[in-house]
Amino acid sequence: MSGVVLRDVVKAYGDVVIIPKLDLEIYEGEFVVIVGPSGCGKSTTLRMIAGLEMVTSGEISIAGKDVTYAQPKARDIAMVFQSYALYPHMDVAGNMSFALRLARVPKAEIAERVQRAAEMLELTPYLDRKPKDLSGGQRQRVAMGRSIVRDAYCFLFDEPLSNLDAKLRATMRTELAILHKKLERTMVYVTHDQIEAMTMADRIVIMKDGVIQQIGSPREVYTAPENLFVAGFIGSPSMNLMDAELTRNNGALYVKGQGFELPVPGRLQERADTAKKSNIVLGLRPEHFSAADRGNGAFAPIELAVDVAEYIGSSQFIAASVGGKNLTAAVEVGPDAAPMESGTYYFDTERLYLFDRESGQAL
């Protein structure tokens, strides 16, 4: 089986178990982003794939070869570090060609490969500069160039954009996506930034406390979060989660809490019927609020007491409360609208989520 496969991988430092048991299959040529809060074990997972950390037990295979106990250089991987880790005493060309020189690749070929990577990353004018004479974005590109020239089977990225400013990060995100298209290599990317995960990934792996919470395409994890953690983690601003219970009114099923009562959509009826009625968490994404009833029958009214409305152009972020519980809504009202005030808003009930409070699992 090709790609990168982790089977029953456990990582512990002494008595402290970082990763209890992890199974993950990354297909060949796929761009997988591992995302999660700090300390969730995502970097450790990446470092185990790289061979910089040894697994406590379990198996890792890359391109069908068991590499569980192989040295990093035997794994056919290239890695970009969060801190770039450029060799300060070598110029850009020296940094990029270091691995090739170690592998005793013929000089002419090294020159050609460095040239090609430099062109791809627009680094050609800087090839004889030292890292200290480069800007943050250029250093980042050198770090990437260093792995590109390797032509490795699998590329590993450990939060490579987290040291860049917001604008540069957005640019580099696009460049990385383009790079993946060009190279068609397996890429594993670790980040704590869900926007990076959503924008670049073919599939996202969401981790918490060393356990995978959900694996799926960006669309899947956004539209069908499997549990409370994923629901709260993916999406920006994050999903509003409120304690609620299920009630029946005139035969129809409602989800009811302090200050709201919303009809349960058809897709959830069956599962809601069998769930414990009193122990429910309701999930409402801020972007599914609306200032007006869109009139397709799915929108239900909800009273919001607005604390403050933030102007962000064509939308407004509203910090409000319902029944004493804080909530965020993002309503599209056009760039000329006055700051939103308390009153009746509407929620697209087709897009509400229900979770079992005890298990945290989605209904």
**Which residue ranges make up the site for another protein (CB under 8 A)?**
50-52, 71-73, 77-79, 81-89, 98-99, 102-103, 130-134, 136, 139, 146, 150, 163
Distance (Å, whole) CA 180 – CA 205: 18
Q: How far is the CB of 140 from another protein (least distance, A)?
A: 9
C-beta of residue 272 within 8 angstroms of C-beta of residue 349? no
Q: How far is the CB of 90 from another protein (least distance, A)?
A: 8
Q: Residue 176 corresponds to which tokens in the numbers above?
A: 């990385």
Distance between start and end Cα atoms, the chain = 34
Angle at 222 between CA 316 and CA 265, to 5 degrees: 85
Shorter beta-carbon distance to another protein: residue 138 or 316: 138
Distance (Å, whole) CA 147 – CA 100: 10
Q: How far is the CB of 210 from another protein (least distance, A)?
A: 21
Shorter beta-carbon distance to another protein: residue 47 or 288: 47
Distance (Å, whole) CA 30 – CA 203: 8
Shorter beta-carbon distance to another protein: residue 82 or 199: 82
Closest CA to 95 of 131, 67, 55: 131
Q: How far is the CB of 20 from another protein (least distance, A)?
A: 23
Closest CA to 140 of 160, 122, 165, 154: 160
Shorter beta-carbon distance to another protein: residue 79 or 239: 79
Angle at 209 between CA 208 and CA 214, to 5 degrees: 30
Q: Strands, DSSP E only, in 65-145?
A: 65-66, 77-80
Q: How far is the CB of 77 from another protein (least distance, A)?
A: 7
Q: How far is the CB of 331 from another protein (least distance, A)?
A: 38
